[in-house]
Structure 1
């Protein structure tokens, strides 16, 4: 059960194991960019008997704060968090969505203060409630000169829509410059599309982690994760432990990355 698992790993032997795992992760084997799909928050709340999924979403947000600290501790430079998809915006009931939007706004506000992390909104601001869009824009503006870990908050995000938006941007720019469709078709490259994605200028994720035992991408960083490694954790989002994270990094370090080969 989620409730018992969340209380595991408090003793000295657990801490000893954690420290041993950390020492095994030298800087050259740690992924530069980790993407996290926090999943299972609603199931966690349901298993513990909460009436509202908001309890699970709040616990998931708290876990994301821990997750960022874990990433900082091992030297990860870029983290992408999948917080709210376009599908969520369309399909979640209004009360749960309202609670989730409030929780995400609180998280973005908190992450933009008190550290040297740089926060970036990744997604469609025009699809979001104005209040949430404003909070995300303010967080990004407030941290624009920070030099610490780069944190992408994927909110109002969809991978297929991102690719469409990138292609539209390329076409619009080419049209402004007076180029023909034939010239555009001849010059279009994967690198050009990558530059026009929401994450343009950032490295693609080396490792994508998903909690709750689900093994699917759910429209997250479809283009960027073409050569990523994947790691699936059985734990529900709020029950993710530091040892689970460190095992994911260790597993990644032991893989032979082939980049599509």
Structure 2
């Protein structure tokens, strides 16, 4: 921490006291990183994949159980066609080139997002990543692809409505657990920490339901420059926060804080 209490990203971080079980990443700033260097946007995305590799390795070593990455949102389809094709090509390359390392490091891949309208090759690639690593028991890498939180919640609501209409469910049985069980992340614990890079301070339609009690951290580093030191600094920041989930802190901690 700096003298003014600002987290120093890019500097050596303190050894984290305890890792969050689930970290989610909004990997923002690839285009701005490239523009600042006079490079094409594709180069920013390519360097972003390298940053992702480093972060996955760091998450394994730091004891994180679940790492969710916002790889492609439903809104990303509105970008120029050549950029969309570049992003899809990078996804293809990442899975093809890295699946062996993920498998050998006991990483399980799980994909969330709408697959109904995906091309056959992309859908097959995502299935392959999941099936190839299905038996792994270490870090779960959750890839949010063609994902939007509002769309996810709407789909869960439709599923519940269909069950009520079919007589399999009563309206009074619908509660938070019933909705959670019909989200893409069913069976996955909610994120403890959500990190967004590049300095933007919004969730951009990412895990809106699951973020209810997540700690949010917005860092000024563009994603291609995000490294292990930044990740450790984020986890250390998380470790120093009081997570009360709407309740009160333990008496000892309240007294210490008051002093």
Distance across 2 between alignment mates of 1:228 and 1:173 = 30
Query: Which residue of 2 is the match for residue 150 of structure 1?
Result: 140
- The residue correspondences of 1:206-225 to structure 2 (distance < 5 A) are 206-225=192-211
Structure 1 residues without counterparts, runs of 5 or longer: 1-7
Aligned partner (choices 131, 139, 145) of residue 129 of structure 2: 139
Conserved? CA contact 1:39–1:236, under 8 Å: yes
Q: How much does 1:117 deviate?
A: 0.5
1:54 to 2:42 alignment: yes
Q: How much does 1:174 deviate?
A: 4.2
Distance across 2 between alignment mates of 1:109 and 1:199 = 24
> For each residue in 1:49-81, what CA deviation from the matched residue of structure 2 results, as whole angstroms up to 9, or x when unmatched?
11x211111111110110111111110000000
SS of 1:112 mapped into structure 2:
helix
Which has the larger helix fraction? 1
Query: Which residue of 2 is the match for residue 3 of structure 1?
Result: none
> For each residue in 1:150-207, what CA deviation from the matched residue of structure 2 results, as whole angstroms up to 9, or x when unmatched?
010001000000001112222334444x34xxx6321101011101110100100000
Aligned partner (choices 89, 92, 95) of residue 102 of structure 1: 89
Q: How much does 1:148 deviate?
A: 1.2
Distance across 2 between alignment mates of 1:127 and 1:155 = 12
Give the total of aligned pairs. Answer: 236
Aligned partner (choices 28, 32, 36) of residue 43 of structure 1: 32
TM-score (norm. length: structure 2)? 0.86
1:129 to 2:129 alignment: no
TM-score (norm. length: structure 1)? 0.85
Distance across 2 between alignment mates of 1:192 and 1:109 = 36
Superposition CA RMSD, Å: 1.8
Structure 2 residues without counterparts, runs of 5 or longer: 1-8, 248-259
